[in-house]
Amino acid sequence: MAFSFLRILTYVLGLVGTALLLPLGVALWKDESAVVPAFLAPMLVGWGVAATFWIFAHRRPRVFDVQHAFGTVGGIWIAICLFGALPLYFSGYFASFTDAAFESVSGFTTTGASVLAAVEDLPQSVNLWRCETHWLGGLGVIALAVALIPLLGVGGFRLIKAETTGPDKAKLTSLIANTAKTLWFIYIALTAAQALLLWNAGMCAVDALAHAFSTMGTGGFSTRNASVGGFGLPAVEWICTAFMLLATVNFTLYYRLLTGRFGDVARDSELRTLVAIVLCAVACVTAVEFRSWGTFGGTLRTSAFQVASIVSTTGFMTADYLMWRPAAQVVILMLFFVGGSSGSTAGGIKVIRWTILAKQLRNEVRRILHPHEVFTLSINGCPGRGAFVPVVASFVFVYMLLVLVTTLAGAFAGLDAFTALTGALSMAGNVGPAFGSLGPTSNYGAIATPLKWFYMFAMLAGRLEIYTLLILVGRAFSFRRRT
């Protein structure tokens, strides 16, 4: 199994190396010659190791059981985050490898928490690579590998299940490779559409592509110190708001729309709940802050943008919500617990899990009032979904345990209690900004080095939905071949 892990790892590193062609091209285009070696060297290394395994070992059989699939995915994600840190570190704009690794982990996990105080000082190519890591990690680098490399079809479904989010994971087509290709086609099309719209709205080509990467990956890295608000373009804010919400929707619903299954989309319980949460949150923030901001249009735009940014776990900013009234801040804080949809690029607990727990709560209350009746749990109009309840409850328990442990780590590192708590929610939920000294106008550069590494673990655990890393570090796991 160790050999199969190394082979897939090298193929994924080769793909990440290929992704470095884009920032390398921008560096050459913008005459940023000083950072060209920072992209070129890792790219050649990635290609070299991938080619070596492809030439000498691609015919050897591959077998993945569930345990090894989870361990493989966890190990690969750690490796690509460290590999993705190399261009950042070699660029010379990060004080230490720890800072470069933190930025890379934050990028691939689509968290968007940065150690940088002045991103505008970076070369455009480095900023583009930061944002591209969001895009690669958003839908999943292993899903990309399964789509592009046919040989990974053997055991590929187990690998994608270990990487994707949500309690219910199924194939859209009979072949998992075709499923991955379909989802990536939709992902690329939405990214291209947003980039074109942002470019037409006044952004330069590099900024438009960088922010499309960050938006569709629900990451939050920006090329401006003031994030999206630094452009001062209302049209850009509305475009980003719309695409943040589009990225928060389960991507399988787009496939169903393309295949004419409109009824399935209309009946989707998670989508209806997500729409209700967003509308209620925007209405509350707009009502609370209307008198402070003066105009209804500006208030609605800012409210919708910030609600979309937090519920999608993107973390973009057009306003400092720490300056809002307490009621509006509480609405934003509540969204930290929600997250996006399963099967989307958003992080967090996920709307479907809260939907299942809410429906189960309703059934428990009804069972108390009518003890002799039989109640079933329905999701997407289908009854008999009660088996999801213990799975969801277990996940929420482990998720909250991760938040509590991360909060404790933050407190031991010197953060005040509320900042430590919201920082933990941000890391586990892959949100990015938090409250207090880790708020939307601050950064993570000043926190202690041990806390940065612990936050990296929390970001990875949140992105891979915890169990993957638990299996990887558990004593029971081993890459040794079963006897």
Q: How confident is the model over 248-262, as pLDDT tens digits?
A: 999 989 989 988 889
Q: Is the pLDDT of residue 415 over 50?
A: yes
Please tell me whether residue 182 adopts helix, strand or coil conformation: helix
Mean pLDDT in residue range 393-398: 91
Percent of the chain with pLDDT over 90: 64
Q: How confident is the model over 332-365, as pLDDT tens digits?
A: 999 999 999 988 999 999 999 999 999 899 988 9
Higher-confidence residue: 110 or 4? 110
Quote the mean pLDDT of the chain: 87
Higher-confidence residue: 151 or 279? 279
Q: Which residue has the tokens 């407190």?
A: 411
Give the model's pLDDT for residue 63. Answer: 53
Rg of the Cα atoms in the chain: 22
Percent of the chain with pLDDT over 70: 86
Mean pLDDT in residue range 440-463: 95
Mean pLDDT in residue range 295-324: 94
Spatial distance between the Cα atoms of 267 and 47, rounded to a whole number of angstroms = 45
Give the model's pLDDT for residue 295. Answer: 85
Mean pLDDT in residue range 450-467: 92
Give the chain's end-to-end CA distance (angstroms, integer): 12
pTM of the model: 0.91
DSSP labels, 409-471: HHHHTT--HHHHHHHHHHHHHT----SGGGSTT--STTS-HHHHHHHHHHHHHHHTTTHHHHH
pLDDT category at 62 given cuts 50, 70, 90 is: low
pLDDT category at 479 given cuts 50, 70, 90 is: very low
- 148 burial (CB, 10 Å; 0-12 / 13-18 / 19+) is middle
Spatial distance between the Cα atoms of 156 and 177, rounded to a whole number of angstroms = 8
Higher-confidence residue: 61 or 276? 276
Q: Is the pLDDT of residue 402 over 70?
A: yes
Q: Is the pLDDT of residue 89 over 90?
A: yes
Q: How confident is the model over 100-154, as pLDDT tens digits?
A: 999 999 999 999 999 999 999 999 999 999 999 999 998 877 676 666 555 554 4
Mean pLDDT in residue range 165-189: 71
Higher-confidence residue: 167 or 410? 410
Q: Kindly list the distances between the CA atom of residue 105 and the CA atoms of 54, 125, 434, in Å, as whole numbers in the listed order.
A: 27, 18, 17
Beta bridge partners of 382: 379
- 73 burial (CB, 10 Å; 0-12 / 13-18 / 19+) is buried
pLDDT category at 483 given cuts 50, 70, 90 is: very low
Higher-confidence residue: 212 or 54? 212
Beta bridge partners of 379: 382
pLDDT category at 384 given cuts 50, 70, 90 is: low
Spatial distance between the Cα atoms of 121 and 126, rounded to a whole number of angstroms = 10
Give the model's pLDDT for residue 476. Answer: 46
Both tokens assigned to 166: 């949500």
Give the model's pLDDT for residue 193. Answer: 97
Mean pLDDT in residue range 297-302: 93
